[in-house]
Amino acid sequence: MNLLEFASEWPLLYRILMIIAIAGGAHIIVTIIRRISQYFLLGQNQHPQQVGSEFTRRFPRTATIITILESTLTFIIYFMAIGLILQEFNLSLRAYLASTTVIGLAIGFGSQGLVQDIVIGLTLIFSNLLKVGDIVEVSGQVGRVESVGMRFTVLINLHGQRVHLPNRNIAVISQFRGGCIRAYVDFQIPEGESGRSISQIINPLAEALFIQHKAIVMEEPENFGIQNTTRNGWKYIRYKFKLWPGQGALIETNFRQMALARLRTVLPEYADWMINITYRSERLIIKDGGLIDETDSDEDL
């Protein structure tokens, strides 16, 4: 006598075993689907703050659709599993489907926000406004897009927090070119001084800032060398820093003060106004159904 024949003689035991099998099978299938999804999206690196495997970078829209398929398949599997479990309690599967349809219609009238979430989520995906791996500002939240789901868009912010944004609350999207903002620090060269002496002071500071704050300073700073304003105007040395959006205070306070203090050890008359900081970025802003495209105007930047 095998296990099924033995269990069939005990109806309650048989039902318990079937319920466990259905629930366990559904959970295993969902786990496999999620593992496959994570493999494509994260590759070998499973750390959520470093979303962006080779697959995600090459096929961002496909990666976004994968997150939607994962959510949809998970819902369908659990929905069917609940129906099969109820069938073990002698509830007709047809009646279950019919009742869920009626309940779904009733809930639909009272949950317009849910419908808005789904419609806007699909719009975000197929209009290519949000892609997995992008660094964006959405409704005041800055972070890297981890997933775009049927109800929520998930961002990973600078602190590693997952920020879940209901899709219906997404009114403004800012996409940062290269996933950063660009801070340009200009050091004016005093008359009679060479740009080389200033570079020898600032270069180590810029490199040290990058090493200490790699989460904020996203790439090594660039030195553009000596720049001229006009033929007879002043000269300056320009540095470019690629920063996590919203973190310009690191340059405006820490770096500026360190640079000024170090310069004054060699050039006591070096003034605070001789250090200028500006920002440039390319952002795609979606607001009230319209598009505003802001682009860097400098060819060499």
Tens of each residue's pLDDT in the chain, 301 residues: 454 555 455 566 667 778 888 888 888 988 888 888 777 766 655 554 444 455 655 665 676 677 778 877 888 888 888 888 877 777 777 777 777 776 666 666 656 676 777 778 777 777 777 777 889 998 888 999 888 777 888 999 998 899 999 888 888 888 888 888 999 999 999 988 888 889 999 999 999 999 999 999 999 999 998 888 777 678 899 999 999 998 999 999 999 999 999 999 989 989 999 999 998 754 445 454 444 444 444 444 4
- Say what the pLDDT of residue 39 is: 75
All residues at 6 or more sequence positions from 42 whose CB lies less than 8 Å from its CB, including other chains: 48, 50, 51, 53, 56
Helix 60-87 and helix 112-126, axial crossing angle in degrees, nearest 10: 140
| Global pTM value | 0.59
Question: From CA 137, how far away is CA 225, in angstroms rounded?
Answer: 32
- Say what the pLDDT of residue 243 is: 94
Question: Which residue, among 253, 258, 277, has the nearest Cα to 207 in the 3D structure?
Answer: 258
All residues at 6 or more sequence positions from 1 whose CB lies less than 8 Å from its CB, including other chains: none
Question: From CA 234, how far away is CA 273, in angstroms rounded?
Answer: 13
* Residue with the two structure tokens 């069939």: 8
* Residue with the two structure tokens 């279950």: 96
- Say what the pLDDT of residue 264 is: 92
Which DSSP category does 296 fall into? Answer: -
The backbone torsions φ and ψ at residue 92, rounded to the nearest 5 degrees and listed phi first, read: -60, 135
* Residue with the two structure tokens 């106004």: 273
Question: From CA 125, how far away is CA 150, in angstroms rounded?
Answer: 10
- Say what the pLDDT of residue 209 is: 94
- Say what the pLDDT of residue 175 is: 85
What is the spatial order of strands in the sheet that 181-189 belongs to?
Answer: 222-228, 235-243, 181-189, 275-280
- Say what the pLDDT of residue 60 is: 58
Contact by Cβ (8 Å): 288, 295: no
- Say what the pLDDT of residue 191 is: 85
Q: In 8-19, which positions are buried (b, 16+ CB within 10 angstroms) versus exposed (e)?
A: eeeeeebbeebb
- Say what the pLDDT of residue 164 is: 92
All residues at 6 or more sequence positions from 150 whose CB lies less than 8 Å from its CB, including other chains: 68, 71, 72, 117, 118, 121, 122
- Say what the pLDDT of residue 116 is: 77
Work out the burial of residue 267: count CB atoms within 10 Å of its CB; fewer than 13 is exposed, 13-18 middle, 19 or more buried: middle
Contact by Cβ (8 Å): 266, 173: no
* 3-state percent breakdown (helix, strand, coil) of the chain, nearest 5: 50, 25, 25
- Say what the pLDDT of residue 48 is: 45
- Say what the pLDDT of residue 184 is: 94
Question: From CA 66, how far away is CA 29, in angstroms rounded?
Answer: 16
Domains, the chain: 3-170 (no CATH), 181-280 (3.30.70.100)
Helices (H), the chain: 3-8, 11-42, 54-58, 60-87, 93-110, 112-126, 195-212, 249, 256-266
